[in-house]
Amino acid sequence: MDISVKIPEKITEHIKKPYDKFVNETLVVELYREGRFTLRQAAGMLGVDLNAMLDVLKKRKAYINYGIEELDEDISYARS
């Protein structure tokens, strides 16, 4: 689904180009912070590997949420 949003120029002048990459990354990081995505899901949403996702989180000053769901996901991934 594509969503169109008008962003005032006084905000866009502070956003790095390309805008779509910046906005997608911002949304994914914020949803990750809220616990809506696991680390692996967030990386998949951005199309990056886990190391690159860790770099994104570091750049955005977001801490790593590592709970039971992430542990289960990692165990399943390791077994596959």
pLDDT of res. 74: 83
The mean of the pLDDT values for the chain is: 88
Domain boundaries, the chain: 9-79
Percent of the chain scoring above 70 in pLDDT: 100
- For residue 30, pLDDT over 80 is answered with yes
Question: How many Cβ atoms from other residues are within 10 Å of residue 28's Cβ?
Answer: 23
* Each residue's pLDDT tens digit, 35-51: 898 898 999 999 999 99
* Each residue's pLDDT tens digit, 60-71: 999 887 778 878
Taking Cα atoms as reference points, which of 34, 38, 31, 29 lies closest to residue 61?
29
